[in-house]
Amino acid sequence: MDECGIAAVLGTLDYEIFVLTAAHQERRNGQIVCWVVPATIVPQLPRILVGIGRTTFTHELIEASRAFALNLLGKDQWPLVAHFGFRSGRETDKFATLPCERGVTGSPILPGTVGYLECRVRIVFDAGPGAHLFYLADVIEGKILTNSSPLCLHQLPELLPPEDLATMRRLLEQDARCNLALLSKSSYQQQTE
């Protein structure tokens, strides 16, 4: 397998960056996500597919509420990548210093973003240990909030301070190592079954 060739092709893809928020009872939280794909061509029944790590605090809130909101960050909102993506809401209230409203699903809606979508979970696809969970959700509300251009993954190296960029790469490598160990174990088990 040509790992470099595969990485080169995948590296040409770019992803918009969202803060995915969810709430259940008095708990609320948000995390950065970039695996977000429109999943229907029918405008009357909009659906979206989102990949979420099974260990995040936000994932727990989605499971409890079966709903979430996707807040599409503008290019000038890059500081929120570290705020929502580098630590867990289990350790800190990420909304303590940030204003937000509640949407129709109860999920926090951030001001000043490009816009938001509110979603109710339809089906969860579980590819097993080490793989993200994929949530197929109905989009039930949405609104453009500003005319800023969306923040994308490929822009982060030029926007983030070097220490934030180093932290992001370290966290990504750490997660990839954990996932690789679990994925290798489960594919070994499948081969020997």
Cβ distance to ligand FMN smaller for residue 111 or 157 = 157
**Minimum distance of ligand FMN from residue 35's CB (angstroms):** 4
**Amino acid letter, residue 119:** C
Residue 120 bridge partners (DSSP): 67, 138
How does 103-114 read in b/e, with b if 16+ C-beta sit within 10 Å? bebbbbbbeebb
**Minimum distance of ligand FMN from residue 88's CB (angstroms):** 3
Residue 109 bridge partners (DSSP): 101
**Minimum distance of ligand FMN from residue 59's CB (angstroms):** 7
**Rule CB under 6 A: which residues touch ligand FMN?**
17, 29, 31-35, 51-53, 56-58, 81, 85, 87-89, 153, 168
> Which helix (H) or strand (E) segment is 156 a member of?
helix 156-159
Cβ distance to ligand FMN smaller for residue 50 or 103 = 50
Cβ distance to ligand FMN smaller for residue 85 or 103 = 85
Cβ distance to ligand FMN smaller for residue 74 or 89 = 89
Residue 21: other Cβ atoms inside 10 A? 31
